[in-house]
Amino acid sequence: MTEVNWDDKWRLGFHLMPPTGWLNDPNGLCQFQGIYHVFFQYSPDDPNGGTKYWGHYTSQDMLNWQYVGIALSPEEVFESHGVYSGSALVKDGKMNLYYTGNVKLDGDYDYIYEGRQGNTILVDSEDGVTFGRKKCLMTNADYPSHLSCHIRDPKVVTGESIGIEDENCYMFLGARTREDTGEVLLYKSGNLTDWELVNILKDKIPFGYMWECPDAFMLDGKKFLSISPQGVQQDGINYQNVYQSGYYEVTGSFDHEYQLERFKEWDRGFDFYAPQTFQDENGRRILIGWIGMPDEPSQTNPTVAQGWQNALTVPREIFLKEGKVMQYPVAELEKLRLSRHTFVSGCTSERRKMYDAEITVVSEDIKIVISEGIELVYDKTHEILTLSFDQEKNLGYGRNKRSVHLQSCEQIRILVDTSCLEIYLNGGEEVFTTRFYTEDGMSDFCVTEGDAKVTYWEMEGLHIDLSAL
């Protein structure tokens, strides 16, 4: 087991990160018997990834967290090369975890037609911490024959939560066809264990070769399908990362005739992938994404030398406003705010590790500079907002520039956490998430062009109990 390096200047304060080693997708998000559960893809011993386990954090308030330990390890033949991503269904007083048991066969396991098994596994829990016997529900032999061996990441929901008025539960499973197009299999079950294929969800024009980490939910009666597609070509300022994450609004019915409307990216930054949502006991739809990007060698993370890599976004509430899907940090985070400061079109007074800044933009154009090397610029003439790294200052370790079309820029909220930035525009109409690495792990920021009123707070970190390590 690698040791926690407490002196690491890039260690995060208010983002969940791996206690040691590597973290990727959030898994099994739920609130069960009042407690929030965040599981995550985890390789505790290797900051560059390796065999995947499920790590486990719990919290009552999303501020005080406990690292509970490894929840799921690859111990059965049907998951011998990794406990891959999946979800939690809370039903009849139990937490049911559905996930993919990954098995690499001898030979070329990345060959797409054979060489790998993606088994669908169920394990349940009465207390959310100890788990029963794992059951293998489906193997590759059970999936439709037009598919390659890449099938994974079950998201299980109730019919009611996706607008289907029956007592069944529904499973969305990510897939890659033999023709190299991404799609989602939709299964239903009345007993949590026997699953029947009821539909296949795909775009009218093929969109990428593989759809990972599907999710489905409703906001104010509208239906949405979220996916993380691989193999989508860059299109101008869109789809600039190696893989994407976004959602379609869905018209019609998931289990019958449906249509996927325009795909929209969840986040426009450099480091965001494989988000998952859940509904909490207050009825909020909350999204957590992975701050990281697989298979992107040009963007590196110097934290590897400190024994860890990647993090999770803060929990974001998602909701509709004037027909648009908005994302905004859950209100609980405001409890981490310490002393409050304000300025008009100036600078922060000193370098600090953690800030939460609310910026009301008064002029049409605006330029904000974070730590002399990261610029956030809104250009009203072209209606483009750009986040860019000065390549000479190298705070981005390979990250360069990302942009989004935005009709106006009126409000900006910036969460600065040591080596993570989350930037929310106009109350969450667009979001940019990125890693960045200053020499001292601290930042300042200035409004250098245009006029803005800035209120910012120093932040304290989450309270995380790591005694289970």
Strand partners of residue 98: 87, 122
The first and second tokens of residue 432, run together, are 């940019």
Report the nearest approach of ligand FRU to the CB of residue 210 (Å): 8
Q: Distance between alpha carbon 436 and the CA centroid of its chain, in Å?
A: 18
Whether residue 429 contacts residue 323, with contact meaning beta carbons closer than 8 Å, is answered with no
In this complex, which beta carbon is closest to ligand FRU, that of residue 31 or of residue 85? 85
Report the nearest approach of ligand FRU to the CB of residue 368 (Å): 31
Report the nearest approach of ligand FRU to the CB of residue 209 (Å): 13
In this complex, which beta carbon is closest to ligand FRU, that of residue 273 or of residue 378? 273
Site for ligand FRU in 369-428 (CB under 6 A): none
Structure-token match 């062009």, residue found: 449
Residue 302's φ and ψ, nearest 5 degrees, are -65, -5
Site for ligand FRU in 424-463 (CB under 6 A): none
CB atoms < 10 A from the CB of 331, how many? 10
Site for ligand FRU in 255-284 (CB under 6 A): 273-274
Report the nearest approach of ligand FRU to the CB of residue 229 (Å): 11
Residue 19 CA neighbour count, 13 Å, CB half: 23
Report the nearest approach of ligand FRU to the CB of residue 428 (Å): 24
Chosen residue from 12, 21, 29, 41 binding ligand FRU by CB under 6 A: 41
Report the nearest approach of ligand FRU to the CB of residue 109 (Å): 13
Q: Is 24 in the site for ligand FRU (CB under 6 A)?
A: yes
Chosen residue from 56, 152, 176, 402 binding ligand FRU by CB under 6 A: 152
Distance CA 49, CA 332 (A): 31
Q: Is the dihedral of CA 359, 362, 364, 365 positive or negative?
A: negative
Chosen residue from 90, 213, 260, 359 binding ligand FRU by CB under 6 A: 213
Chosen residue from 11, 37, 52, 176 binding ligand FRU by CB under 6 A: 52
Distance CA 190, CA 171 (A): 11
Q: How far is CA 54 from CA 42, 124, 331, 468, in A?
A: 6, 14, 27, 15
Q: Is 116 in the site for ligand FRU (CB under 6 A)?
A: no
Name every residue whose Cβ is closer than 8 Å to that of residue 53 and which is 6 or more positions away in sequence: 41, 42, 43, 44, 70, 71, 72, 73, 74, 83
Report the nearest approach of ligand FRU to the CB of residue 230 (Å): 8
Chosen residue from 58, 59, 96, 100 binding ligand FRU by CB under 6 A: 100
Q: Distance between alpha carbon 155 and the CA centroid of its chain, in Å?
A: 14
In this complex, which beta carbon is closest to ligand FRU, that of residue 290 or of residue 389? 290
Q: Is 153 in the site for ligand FRU (CB under 6 A)?
A: yes
Report the nearest approach of ligand FRU to the CB of residue 236 (Å): 25
Distance CA 163, CA 160 (A): 5
Chosen residue from 79, 124, 212, 255 binding ligand FRU by CB under 6 A: 212
Site for ligand FRU in 292-321 (CB under 6 A): 294
Distance CA 446, CA 432 (A): 18
3-state secondary structure (DSSP) of residue 273:
strand
The amino acid that residue 110 corresponds to is D
In this complex, which beta carbon is closest to ligand FRU, that of residue 291 or of residue 452? 291
Q: Is 25 in the site for ligand FRU (CB under 6 A)?
A: yes
Q: Is 117 in the site for ligand FRU (CB under 6 A)?
A: no
DSSP E strands in 115-209: the ranges are 116-125, 135-138, 147-158, 169-177, 182-189, 196-201
Active-site hit among 25, 124, 215, 255:
25
DSSP E strands in 362-442: the ranges are 366-370, 374-379, 384-389, 401-405, 411-417, 420-425, 430-435
In this complex, which beta carbon is closest to ligand FRU, that of residue 106 or of residue 295? 295
Query: Any idea what DSSP says for residue 400?
Result: -
Distance CA 122, CA 134 (A): 6
Whether residue 212 contacts residue 184, with contact meaning beta carbons closer than 8 Å, is answered with no
CB atoms < 10 A from the CB of 110, how many? 10
Report the nearest approach of ligand FRU to the CB of residue 200 (Å): 18
In this complex, which beta carbon is closest to ligand FRU, that of residue 24 or of residue 58? 24
The first and second tokens of residue 168, run together, are 């069944």
The first and second tokens of residue 37, run together, are 């559960």
Asked if 194 is an active-site residue, the reply is: no
The pattern of x and - marking residues 74 through 93 that bind ligand FRU according to CB under 6 A reads ----------xx--------
Binding positions for ligand FRU, rule: CB under 6 A:
24-25, 41, 52, 84-85, 100, 152-153, 212-213, 273-274, 294
Return the active site residues.
Answer: 25
